[in-house]
Structure 1
Amino acid sequence: MSGRELKKLRAKNKLTQKQLAEKIEVAQPRISEWERNKFKISKAYRKILNDFFVGLTAPNV
């Protein structure tokens, strides 16, 4: 997941950087750094982000 993809997913789900940061338990500046490609998203956080966004789009059963 690139920073651009993260920003698109966050915006599509109407989340602020602060809201996303709180959900995945990181500091808000880290979200900004990822979105600007200042820091690469680690494998661990790519998985956390993927699981988070998949959970938002999964149908409620």
Structure 2
Amino acid sequence: MLSMEGERVRRVISRAMVGTKGRFPSVKSGRIIHWESQLERDFVRCLEFDADVISFREQA
């Protein structure tokens, strides 16, 4: 999630040496959505292509 100034609200902290995280360019949200797991990635894709969803944001 971004602050009012456009900065990330929190820094992702991971103790794992290798993690699954990434970014998804969302047309509905008009910005890059950051995801931290494969489950979140898949859910973001579902939200992006669901006709009933107007917009969404990642977790804070």
TM-score of Structure 1 vs Structure 2, range by shorter chain: 0.3 to 0.5
Q: Higher strand fraction: Structure 1 or Structure 2?
A: 2
Larger Rg: 2
Give me the TM-score of the superposition, normalised by structure 1: 0.33
Higher RCO by CA contacts (8 Å cutoff, separation 6 or greater): 1
The structure whose residues are more often helix, as a share, is: 1
TM-score norm. by structure 2 comes to: 0.34
